[in-house]
Structure 1
Amino acid sequence: MAGTDMEAPEDGLRPSSPPVAPTGESGLRRLDRLTNDSRLARIHADTLAKTELPYHSGFAREFLRGDFNFAAAKMTVARGGKLIAIESEFRVAEGWFRKAMAWANELPKRQTATYPEIVTLEIKHAMSGRLVRLLTIYDQLFLLTMGALIARSLGSEARQSTLDAAQTRIRKIAYLCIFDNDRFAPEGVLLPDPGQAH
């Protein structure tokens, strides 16, 4: 990918999704635990929308199953510096995905039949809607690079490196959601853990 910075950020947030036994039409296991997460159900937001998200990739399935509801709930109650930090990370990720998609769209590729799984998601905050959008773009990148791999215009290592970097961008947003609001400075900087400060 000449001219495009597709490297994953060096923050130790490498994705590590284990292989999953296929059971669905797409080869991905169905999400059984997604919509009954009580954490998100307890959030009473000003707006409530539902969307159906089709997905093809194992990463999207694992993220939806393990991280989405937690991140969505934490985004709904984020305030002050934490909100600024998450917003900033969204801008970085969205800029990265714009470049990645422009690059992937230029690759020669072959079409292949794909059958997505579909899950219904609750959107209780604008940022969780942005997270759904990033997952959708990730899935498009997954399919475009698969077509390029089949056409032999992209090697498997280059494809995996690109997907790893894309996963890391999304995981970093979820990572920022872990911390409480008081762990962020007003300008959006994550403060060190008081127990580990020197």
Structure 2
Amino acid sequence: MVEANLENFQVCDRDLDAATLARYQGAEALAIDTETMGLVLGRDRLCLVQICDPSGYVTAIRIALGQREAPNLKTLLESPQSTKIFHYARFDVAQLKYTFGIATAPIFCTKIASKLARTYTSTHGLKALVQELTGIELDKSSQSSDWGNPANLSPQQLAYAANDVRYLVEMRSQLTAMLQREGRWELAERCFATLPLFVDLDIMQFKDIFEHK
């Protein structure tokens, strides 16, 4: 079991500072993740936003209770200059839009990419994907924990949060190569482009509208 360390890691309160924003604006791709109080959009609030650039530098932004603005984060995530990489982007992008009005783009989702490329398996969770593509076994013991008091997050929680973004940039490259090899890259791009539509439907609480019932 390989645990993430807290090297090349910083914590910001409420938003990115100007220097960190400038650092990340120079990146071609950024890995993004969120931690929340639960999985129900609108009930369970956003507590932490993690960002990692291709050099492995991670920033965790602690979100305050009731906070509704993060202008530097919004500027970064809406910039067309960098691809934002998520694992299960639909959830994180919806949380960011619901909380801050951020229209994240462009997007790469490693879960969608995995389902299109790795059709030899039904296992597409982050832990399994990281282990296959990088050989690293993530420690997920802090996954279900209280993220609601960000000023008192434990080193284990912060290490877990860092783990969730450290490997996404590398996996994007490997998954893109697999998709191109199998002739599914354009299909993946179309899937990524539709994510904002599903996010809007989720925020408005529409479900199964494409199903015949």
Please, what TM-score do these two structures have when normalized by structure 1? 0.33
Bigger helix share: 1
Q: Which has the larger radius of gyration?
A: 1
More strand by share: 2
